[in-house]
Structure 1
Amino acid sequence: MESIESAIAFIGGPAALWILASVYFGSVIVERVWALWGNPDYDNKDALCSIGLNLISSVLNLVIAILIPLALYVAVFDNLRLVSEMSLLLAIPLAFLFHELAYYWDHRLAHRIGLLWAFHAIHHSSNEFNHSTAARGFVFDGQLKNLFALPAAFVGIDPVVYIAVSVCTNAFGIWNHASYVPRMGWIDRVLMTPKMHKVHHANQPQYIDRNYSQVTLLYDRLFGSVAHLAEEPDPGLVKRVYDNNPLTAQFAGLKQLKDRMDHAERWQDKLAYLWRPPEWSHDGVCRSDCPKYGALPAS
């Protein structure tokens, strides 16, 4: 038990960010070396763009996504928790279930609310699927999961335990963007393996808005959003982006949102694009994610 406590204290402490950074950049380097033999078509410009987007969002997220959410979590844990002391053997699996649920609903809402999709779309904007795309993101993407984590604090899960579990699940989330992992048989029906997560990144109609979870398929099964692998997934947005400049590529989702809003004349319709799903339009003309709904994109 002492060894588990020591591991949790280390992973969930000040080393957390260094661990994730090491996992991310280590995975990118290993995959790039593998690609010298296994994937000669590896897109270096796309990968460098993803890394640049990660660095930009990581620096800006230090306050927005780390310090403020951590302060809120600690405040709830210190003042409102239901259980004063919780054993580590109970806290770890509970933290995992809470984290998976928070991740799932943050991710699902990011796909179904126009403004949140504009923030999240950059993660899907790469036309490649590899470790470099794992942390491709926009500074305001994924912030809801910090609020959705507060029930874990309310129940009484120590912040260090929750952070440690988050580090481990996020490390898994980096691995499941691997381009070199093949289908894994029955494991693909239990865990969010690389092939199952590649389904989530695909733009084919049967794959759009599916497989939201990070580690398991538990909540996708529970909430009816799982899609199993059939034809090989084709990663990228329906309306593809070919911008490899991280300074401009990070605004691709916002630009596509603005383009849809510009078609509306009434301000009520313009504002509706912010909360309606990305395929919605004020005039019934599909301008995003059209293949999912059997419609043709607007010309």
Structure 2
Amino acid sequence: MTPEAFMALAEQIDEVFFTLGGLILVIEIAEAWFKGSLKGKTFLEMLASASTQVPYLLLEVTMMTALYFGLYVFSETVVSWHLPSTLPWIVLAIVLADFTYYWEHRIAHQVRLLWTQHAVHHSSRDYNIITSIRFGPLESLWSFIAHIPMILIGFSPDVVLGSVILVQAYQTWLHTELIGKLGPLEWVLNTPSHHRVHHGCDNKYLDKNYGGISIIWDRMFGSFQVEEERPRYGLTTDFDSQNPVKVWFSEIPALWKDIRNAKSGRELRGRLFGPPGWKPDP
């Protein structure tokens, strides 16, 4: 299989997951309708989530396209070693992309500057399939940086990007309450049950279950939590706006205020690169 063929296959699989997500959305809306829980606020929240695709895709077709073009040039002109695109190497690339996603995701929860983007994904109090496309405008930039080591190892940019697409596409179906626990699959795969935990803001659920396709990384690195009672979704601090602009940039005003008020270089570094909620010692 050529790298280009693998990339095309990844895009086709992405379309399959997107279609599956559409079917789940129809069922979610129908269930809420029959239960009488379908409210105008629910639709506004869905629209707010969908609206995040506007700045996200705008930056994808401009800044990220330019960066990936540069990555292809870098791979061809600087990286003189290239791994084959045979099936075993492609499988390894997918595993490495999933492993990279785990750490990329975990770090995004622990570094405030990155959290300003990823918090957008977590800010909704609702949990449905539309949440899967609720992104901060610059989330792709951190993902791009995190996967550069795979290029340095020798994987083709098409293989790396295709693997990233697969890891992201898989997660579409995780954002639903329609699907319960899945028995033995829960030991190996990330499932809707595991990901509901990740979106919970209850103390026992905070910063748990970072995995993309596999939940094994969480079990290995001590961040696994089984779903017990139903999570309370959203952020630990109340955020209840459906204004698209406020959703897109919800964390920026507070960060900017802390940057302006920083009294030392140490405090500035802490505000930018410390965990969310970091404060200097009194």
**Shorter-chain TM band:** 0.7 to 0.9
Which range moved further: 101-110 or 33-42? 33-42
2:83 touches 2:89 (CA, 8 Å); kept in 1? Answer: no
1:61 aligns with 2:60: yes
Tell me which residue corresponds to 1:291.
none
1:72 aligns with 2:71: yes
Q: How far apart are 1:247 and its partner, in Å?
A: 1.9
Decide whether aligned partners of structure 1 residues 182 and 70 sit closer, same or farther in structure 2, where only a CA change above 3 A counts.
Answer: farther
Gaps of 5+ in 1: 285-299
Q: Which amino acid aligns with 1:133?
A: T
Q: What CA deviation, in whole Å up to 9, does each residue of 1:173-211 have, x standing for no partner? A: 111113311111221221111110111110011111111
1:120 touches 1:253 (CA, 8 Å); kept in 2? Answer: no
Percent identical pairs in the alignment equals 26
**Aligned counterparts of 1:95 and 1:70: Cα–Cα separation in 2:** 20
Q: How far apart are 1:69 and its partner, in Å?
A: 3.3
**Aligned counterparts of 1:59 and 1:21: Cα–Cα separation in 2:** 20
Q: What CA deviation, in whole Å up to 9, does each residue of 1:54-73 have, x standing for no partner? A: 23211222233343035325
1:231 aligns with 2:229: yes
Q: How does 1:1-299 map to 2 (within 5 A)?
A: 8-11=6-9, 16=11, 20=14, 23-24=17-18, 26-40=19-33, 41-42=37-38, 43-76=42-75, 79-82=78-81, 84-258=82-256, 261=258, 266-268=263-265, 269-283=267-281
Decide whether aligned partners of structure 1 residues 23 and 70 sit closer, same or farther in structure 2, where only a CA change above 3 A counts.
Answer: farther
Q: How far apart are 1:112 and its partner, in Å?
A: 0.6
Q: How far apart are 1:265 and its partner, in Å?
A: 6.1
Q: How far apart are 1:27 and its partner, in Å?
A: 4.5
**Aligned counterparts of 1:208 and 1:106: Cα–Cα separation in 2:** 17
Gaps of 5+ in 2: none
TM-score, structure 2 normalization: 0.85
2:3 touches 2:156 (CA, 8 Å); kept in 1? Answer: no
Which range moved further: 231-240 or 265-274? 265-274
Q: How far apart are 1:232 and its partner, in Å?
A: 1.4
**Aligned counterparts of 1:39 and 1:93: Cα–Cα separation in 2:** 39
Q: How far apart are 1:216 and its partner, in Å?
A: 0.3
1:77 touches 1:158 (CA, 8 Å); kept in 2? Answer: no
Q: How far apart are 1:270 and its partner, in Å?
A: 4.7
Greater helix percent: which structure? 2
Q: Which amino acid aligns with 1:119?
A: Q
Q: Which amino acid aligns with 1:189?
A: W
1:124 touches 1:236 (CA, 8 Å); kept in 2? Answer: yes
Q: How many residues align?
A: 275
Q: What CA deviation, in whole Å up to 9, does each residue of 1:116-135 have, x standing for no partner? A: 11121111001111111112
